[in-house]
Chains A and B, each alone.
Chain A
Amino acid sequence: MKGSLYALLYAAVLGAVCALLLTAVANVTAPYRQANEEAEQILNILIVLDVNIPSDASAKQLGEIFENNVRQEQRNGVEAFVRFQPDAREQIQAIALQFSGTGLWGPIKGFLALEPDMKTIRGLTFYEQQETAGLGGKIVEKEFRDQFAGKSIVDKDGNPGIIISRTGDPAPNKVDGISGATMTCDKVQNMLNEVIKKISKVKE
């Protein structure tokens, strides 16, 4: 009995010391980690919007390029990043919409880039996902993402929404899913459609 009490106390003290240490380290490194994550975010936006970036650009340079080419705004409650011409701010070249949702194992986050017509998909990227490597994880691969370029976010009757599926007839708003990753594809389809529906709500 005495031994058990000692073991419990020992575990509690050790756990507390380790937790304290980790909290301290997390606090010290937090600003640096956040800066890195923000730079990564900016890089992702610039890539999906097709902005030219030097391959060895520093975080600061990325920030400047971002400032000169992209503005952030809310569109129907969707976080949007608008790429404009550096000399004419009203001339929109592309627009990236942030989307997120729950994946199979953890959150999935990414950007859906549209052409200025707001109907044609320009590209798709994911910057956070923990899907099964080799199955759902394939959503980050070029082969899957490249299918989206040129697709429409509305079906032939004009209803907003896209379909990710291996079955069914080809359509302007449909891409192939990944076999063995139906759950991931369904979830991605739903989170994309959520954004697409919001953005298409007010149309002139």
Chain B
Amino acid sequence: MACGTRGLCGGRGLLTLKEGAWSNNPLAIQVLGICSALAVTTRLENSLVMGGALIFVCVGSNLVVSLLRKLTPHRIRMIVEVCVIATYVIIFDQFLKAFYWDMSKQLGPYVGLIITNCIVMGRAEAFALQNPPILSIIDGIANGLGYAAVLAIIGFCRELLGAGEIFGYKVLGEAWYTPNQLMILAPGAFFAFGIAIGIFNWIKGPEPEEKKP
């Protein structure tokens, strides 16, 4: 269980957090799980709920996979991961259907499709299987946040330019701004996503060159 002596696992926690949310961002750097990112970002609210769903699933599955990592037979570890992920996703979907019906209708199949989201499976396989539970939770939060943040930015731009609204409230007046329907449609998602990745990488700067032996 021990993952360090001080603070967030003695510095490793912060490093994990930074890596998941920023320097190894699942969407902007690894470009994983973009199907849902393109599909649900027509509105900011949808993007935030989807981001929340991913954080919930990623944290939960990372925790369980990490707790079971020494018990799980190596041969069936992937099935175990999918089983755990699917359980969390269905729980989230059921609660959405019960308490947030309109959102559930708008997100449609994309909540269920989190089961096949490469980010969740990737974190379980690449991180939670080798690391202690607390660190795995941090990793789940970091990657979930990284995903949610990029989604929120794309959702913000698409809703603002595509409908002139933010959270459903008109912010760009009809008088001088004609909503650009293209931003709501699929091509708008590609434009917004591509530009977002470009800016992200521009700010982050190039990867430091690997030292040659």
Name A residues whose Cβ lies closer than 8 Å to a Cβ of B. Answer: 3, 6-7, 10-11, 14-15, 18, 21-22, 25-26, 29, 32-33, 36, 39-40
Pick from B73, B87, B97: contact of A22, CB under 8 Å: B87
Instruction: Report B64 CB to chain A, min CB distance, Å.
Output: 10
Known interface pairs A11-B79, A18-B87. Does A29 touch B72 (Cβ–Cβ under 8 Å)? no
- The 0/1 profile, CB within 8 Å of A marked 1, for residues 63-106 of chain B is 00000000111011001100110110011001101110100000
Instruction: Report B15 CB to chain A, min CB distance, Å.
Output: 31
Contact in complex: B73, A7 (CB < 8 Å): yes
Q: Which residue of A lies closest to B97 (CB)?
A: A33
Ranked nearest first, the 7 interchain pairs of A and B with the lowest CB-CB distance are: A32-B98, A29-B98, A36-B101, A7-B73, A18-B87, A29-B94, A33-B97
CA–CA, A11 and B72, complex, Å: 9
Contact in complex: B101, A40 (CB < 8 Å): yes
Instruction: Report A156 CB to chain B, min CB distance, Å.
Output: 41
Which applies to chain B's interface (DSSP): helix, strand, loop or mixed?
A: helix
Instruction: Report A62 CB to chain B, min CB distance, Å.
Output: 12
Q: What chain B residues lie within 8 Å of A32 (beta carbons)?
A: 97-99
Instruction: Report B118 CB to chain A, min CB distance, Å.
Output: 21
CA–CA, A10 and B80, complex, Å: 9
Contact in complex: A7, B94 (CB < 8 Å): no
Instruction: Report A34 CB to chain B, min CB distance, Å.
Output: 9
Name B residues whose Cβ lies closer than 8 Å to a Cβ of A. Answer: 71-73, 75-76, 79-80, 83-84, 86-87, 90-91, 94-95, 97-99, 101
Known interface pairs A15-B83, A18-B83, A22-B87. Does A36 touch B98 (Cβ–Cβ under 8 Å)? yes
Q: Which residue of B lies closest to A19 (CB)?
A: B87
Contact in complex: A29, B83 (CB < 8 Å): no
Pick from A6, A14, A26: contact of B94, CB under 8 Å: A26
Q: Which residue of A lies closest to B73 (CB)?
A: A7
Contact in complex: A10, B73 (CB < 8 Å): yes
Q: Which residue of B lies closest to A10 (CB)?
A: B73
Contact in complex: A21, B80 (CB < 8 Å): no
Q: List 16 A-B contacts (CB under 8 A).
A: A3-B73, A10-B72, A10-B76, A11-B76, A11-B80, A18-B87, A21-B87, A25-B90, A29-B94, A29-B95, A29-B98, A32-B98, A33-B94, A33-B98, A36-B101, A39-B101
Known interface pairs A29-B95, A36-B97. Does A14 touch B80 (Cβ–Cβ under 8 Å)? yes
Instruction: Report B103 CB to chain A, min CB distance, Å.
Output: 11
Among B80, B84, B90, B98: residue with most chain A CB under 10 A: B98
CA–CA, A21 and B86, complex, Å: 12
CA–CA, A14 and B73, complex, Å: 12
Contact in complex: B84, A18 (CB < 8 Å): yes
Among B75, B84, B91: residue with most chain A CB under 10 A: B91
Q: What chain B residues lie within 8 Å of A21 (beta carbons)?
A: 87, 91
Q: What chain B residues lie within 8 Å of A36 (beta carbons)?
A: 97-98, 101
Instruction: Report A18 CB to chain B, min CB distance, Å.
Output: 4
Contact in complex: A7, B75 (CB < 8 Å): yes
Q: What chain B residues lie within 8 Å of A18 (beta carbons)?
A: 83-84, 86-87
Q: Which residue of B lies closest to A24 (CB)?
A: B91
CA–CA, A32 and B98, complex, Å: 5
Known interface pairs A7-B73, A14-B83. Does A22 touch B90 (Cβ–Cβ under 8 Å)? yes
Q: What chain A residues lie within 8 Å of B87 (beta carbons)?
A: 18, 21-22
Q: What chain B residues lie within 8 Å of A14 (beta carbons)?
A: 80, 83-84
Q: Which residue of B lies closest to A26 (CB)?
A: B94
Instruction: Report A13 CB to chain B, min CB distance, Å.
Output: 10
Instruction: Given A32-B99, A33-B97, output 8 extra A-B contacts at Cβ < 8 Å.
Output: A3-B75, A10-B80, A15-B83, A22-B91, A25-B91, A25-B94, A29-B99, A39-B101
